[in-house]
Amino acid sequence: MKKSFLFLIIFLTTPQRVTLNVGFVQYPFSSRRRGLKPLITFLLLFSCLLSFTQTEFIQHEVTNSFTKGADVIAVDLDQDGDMDIIGVNSHTSAEIAWWKNNGINEFTKITIRDNLNKVRSVRAEDVNDDGHIDLVAAVYGENRIIYLENNGDETFSDYEVDANFVGAHTIDLKDVDDDGNLDILCSAFDYYYHNGEIAWWKNDGSSPVGWTKYLISDRFQQSPFIFGDDMDGDDDLDVIACGELNDEILWWENNGNEIFTEHMVDSLISGIHTVIARDVDLDGDMDILAAACMGSQVAWYENDGLQQFTKHPLGYSAGALWLDATDLDNDGDRDLFGASMGANQLAWWENPGNQQFVKHNFNSTFTQAFCVVPVMMDNDNDTDLVAIGWQSNKISWFENKLEDPNLLNQPESVIYDSANNRYLVSSFGSGCIVQIDSLGYQSYFTYGLVHVAGLHITGNTLFAASYQGPDAGIVGYDLTTADMVFKVKPAGLSMPNDITSDTSGFLYVTEYFGDKIYKIRISDSLSSVFVGTGLNMPNGIIYDLPNNRLLVMNEAWANAPIVAVDIEDSTLTTIVETNVSSTDGLTTDNNGNTYFSSWATNKIYRYDESFTNPPEVVSSGHSGPADIFFNKLNNILAVPNFNSNSVDFIPITFTGQNENPERKPDNIHSFPNPFNDRLNISFYLTGNTFIKIVIYDIHGNRIAELINKELKKGEYSITWDGRDKNNSNAPSGIYFVIFDFKNHFKTYKIIKH
């Protein structure tokens, strides 16, 4: 599936306050970029046309302590406009639990019922038609089906549906008899040679609801799954079910009066566990999806419209327990997704449009998954997933990132990996590290951390500061393989913030809330407190090699000093008081200048090497700038914007000239963009100034000069006819409009069709 991204690029030259009001061109994913540099460095922040087929999923852990989770559903239980999660577990002191969503996908557990013996299944619908979402559960260890009526105040009243349904296993809620009331379907799974039944319980529509059982079949000893749908298109509810010991899938045809006739679908699918009806090929009839645990296979059965089913195996899937279908990549066809006990990952099968499914494993670990269900958790027009794990004790939701190609979520730190020509960005909000390649394409380097902050590269290892979760502390990843190769959590470390290293093999880590700096020997992970007093919320930290010292930004003090720490004896010396509030990251360039960010002023400041002159504003208009990084290979200052989920890449030059804010062009517009034959460029000059406007191609070749003279204050409009300096028609492609006003530059990208 092809996604197109078109971005506006803005480069400026050196110093002083920069504030642009650009009405140049807008695209669905446009980003504001600020910069300082004339021409020739064309950093394509994001690619113009990218093709990719793999949907990314980010795992968000809801809980890791729900023992032997057996079933999960996602439903707006309290009807407050967000999706909650209901889970049940299958041990001798089991629960029916509700994870209440606060509206931003943070969950609070509410135990609805506990001390039950092995709850195997739960479903949610408004059973009694009172406007509240009720629950029905199969309590396997007690041979019971229970109905929990929602009282509307987050409490539930219990009603027994059946107290002697041996091996009650999987529930489905459907209107079997078409009387407007939701009935209950349930399958029975028995280890003790009882003839397992599949049955339905009629809802009599009264209050409280009365239930009457009707047997559909008792051919299975162990029937792990039942599902109701109209299989033959005659507008009544048929039933599909499976027998794990029988290795069978059958469907029962409803004659319209709830008299069921059985039809064999497959009698040779070993250890079948789950059957679900979906119109996989979108031809108007219901197909069947199957997952076979003992046989480790998944398959879909194509309905020819006459209820003759053709099996399409999908390959080996260790301990397969679940297979379902929905459109995950928003291309108009049905993809598949599934869970397997024997795998460490969930999987999805991409449908290219002809049901020749291509399997993709999720990147994150999720062991012994029992089931996975579709849900729109974050209201971004794509389908997310919720899964429950048996042995891992986890419930997680998996965020589908297809509709949001920006993988950044509260970017905190950025660093350049020169060996692989990419930037690495810590995504604090999602616990992942995102890599941005030379074309601006984002992908995941790793994820599964919790609140990852500072990043630092030493040798071939990327070190990251993370707090909370199983990998809290300092972790290291091989830059080539992304494998975790280092992990340590020094005693007392609670909120590691930023990281640097010296030339002797030691890491230095700022402890934000503890007002400390930790020292860690990389070779053996030995750690100690290097600075224990004298700091106040230390944030950014860098190693100053020429002076063999650390420089540390102190955020909480009113004067926000930059403090030097002697590497030999850890003594502290105040270098300069910035008197800027809410300071964050520190970095240095090739000339010894030191840059720092402030998320209160949304500016980047620069001190010269002496620290004696007041800091100059290098760039402004950011959005919560955090741990900045200066790429010394190409003089690019990278600024992660924590509040806008973006990274600004600012080319820096050292001309020694200050911008005159009264002489810069303003309100620059170019239209149409993309254009065919003529490009109109309008701008306003705030004062008399010399200005030159030149067109360059993507390779830096000079194509055309549009103006080169002094202009008076006022509004101007000029036109480029799409021809080069030789009066030949310039070919279609990407070009750059360079505004040069007294050696200060603004660069805009345009597209010629």
CATH number of the domain that residue 491 is part of: 2.120.10.30
Write a three-state SS string for 138-185. Answer: EEHHHCEEEEEEECCCCCEEEEEEECCCCCEEEEEEECCCCCCCCEEE
CA–CA distance, 124 with 139 (Å, rounded to integer): 15
Q: Is the peptide bond before 208 cis (omega within 30 degrees of 0)?
A: yes
Give the count of alpha carbons within 13 A of 433, CB side only: 29
Average pLDDT value for residue range 706-719: 85
Least confident of 197-211, 235-249, 628-642, 682-696: 682-696
- As for how many domains the chain has, the answer is 3
Q: Is the pLDDT assigned to residue 522 strictly greater than 50? A: yes
* Token pair recorded at residue 707: 């103006």
Whose CA is closest to 350, among 366, 337, 365, 369? 337
Domain identity same for 433 and 304: no
What number of other Cβ atoms are within 10 A of residue 298's Cβ? 27
The answer to the question of residue 119 being in a domain is yes
pLDDT top residue among 263 and 623: 263
State whether 539 and 485 are in the same domain.
yes
Place of tokens 């517009």: 669
Residues 6 or more apart whose Cβ sits within 8 Å of residue 611: 562, 575, 576, 594
Is residue 191 in some structural domain?
yes
Range name among 138-142, 172-176, 444-448, 486-490 with the lowest pLDDT average: 444-448
Confidence of residue 206 (pLDDT cuts 50, 70, 90): very high
Question: Under the phi-then-psi rule, with left for phi > 0, alpha for psi from -120 to 50, and beta for the rest, what region is 610?
Answer: alpha
DSSP 657: -
Cα(384)–Cα(377) distance, integer angstroms: 6
Is residue 675 one of the residues assigned to a domain? yes
Structural tokens at position 685? 């000059």
Same domain, 42 and 16: yes
703 vs 1, which has greater pLDDT? 703
Q: How far is CA 261 from the centre of its chain?
A: 47
pLDDT digits (tens, 9 = 90+) for 55-110: 478 889 999 999 999 999 999 999 999 999 999 999 999 999 999 999 989 999 99
Give tens-digit pLDDT for 114-127.
999 999 999 999 99
Determine if residue 167 is left, alpha or beta; phi over 0 gives left, psi from -120 to 50 gives alpha, anything else beta.
left
* pLDDT tens string 721-749: 999 888 888 888 778 787 776 656 676 77
Residue 518 is assigned to a structural domain of this protein:
yes
- Asked if 586 and 710 sit in the same domain, the reply is no
What is the share, in percent, of the chain residues with pLDDT greater than 70?
89
User: Does position 6 have pLDDT exceeding 50, yes or no?
Assistant: no
pLDDT at 268: 95
Q: Are residues 508 and 438 both part of a single domain?
A: yes
**Could you tell me if 228 and 163 lie in one domain?**
yes
Instruction: Using the structure block, give the residue that is written with the tokens 């089991």.
Output: 94
pLDDT of residue 25: 26
First to last CA, the chain: 23
Listed in sequence order, the residues at least 6 apart from 47 whose beta carbon sits closer than 8 Å to its beta carbon are: 5, 439, 440, 441
CATH of the domain at 21: 2.60.40.4070
Look at 582 and 38; give whichever has higher pLDDT.
Answer: 582
Residue with tokens 């108007």: 284
Share the mean pLDDT of the chain.
Answer: 86
Which residue among 312, 336, 360 closes a domain?
336
112 domain-assigned: yes
Q: Is the pLDDT of residue 266 over 90?
A: yes
Confirm if 380 and 393 have CB atoms less than 8 A apart: no
**Can you give the residue range of the structural domain that contains 208?**
83-336
Q: How far is CA 552 from the centre of its chain?
A: 32
Query: Pairing between strand 527-531 and 516-521?
Result: antiparallel
> Is 192 exposed, middle or buried, given 0-12, 13-18 or 19+ CB atoms closer than 10 A?
exposed
Q: Please report the pLDDT score of residue 230 as a whole number.
A: 98
Q: What is the CA 87 to chain-centroid distance, rounded?
A: 23
- pLDDT tens-digit readout, 13-35: 333 222 222 222 222 222 222 23
**619, 729: one domain:** no
Side chain identity, residue 733: G
Is 360 a domain residue? no
pLDDT of residue 674: 81
pLDDT for 664 equals 53
**Angstrom distances, CA of residue 39 to CA of 316, 434, 663, 664, 719:** 55, 28, 20, 17, 21
Last residue of a domain, one of 277, 303, 336: 336
For position 85, what pLDDT does the model report? 98
Say if CB 122 and CB 143 are below 8 A apart.
no
687 with 635, same domain? no
Say if CB 134 and CB 148 are below 8 A apart. yes
pLDDT digits (tens, 9 = 90+) for 218-262: 999 899 999 999 999 999 999 999 999 999 999 999 999 999 999
Q: Is residue 68 part of a domain?
A: no
Are 522 and 584 part of one and the same domain?
yes
- Is the distance from CB of 643 to CB of 649 less than 8 angstroms? no
pLDDT score at 38: 27
Position 312 scores a pLDDT of: 97
Same domain flag for 673 and 555: no
Residue 178 above 50 pLDDT? yes
**Residue 40: predicted pLDDT:** 28
pLDDT tens sequence across 621-670: 889 999 999 998 888 899 999 998 889 888 887 654 443 444 455 667 77
> Could you tell me the sign of the dihedral formed by the alpha carbons of 102, 108, 112, 116, in that order?
positive
- Domain end position, chosen among 307, 336, 365: 336
386 occurs within a structural domain: no
- b/e per residue, 447-466, with b = 16+ CB within 10 A? bbbebbbbbbbbeebbbbbb
**According to the model, what pLDDT value does residue 570 have?**
94
Beta pairing class for 714-720 and 733-741: unpaired
Higher pLDDT among residues 468 and 209, named by residue: 209
Average pLDDT (33-50) is 29
One domain, residues 541 and 462: yes
Q: Same domain, yes or no, for 160 and 192?
A: yes
Could you please report the per-residue DSSP string of 2-50? EEE---------SSS-------S---TT---------TT----SS-SEE
Q: pLDDT of 392-434, one tens digit each?
A: 999 999 999 876 667 888 999 999 999 999 999 999 988 889 9
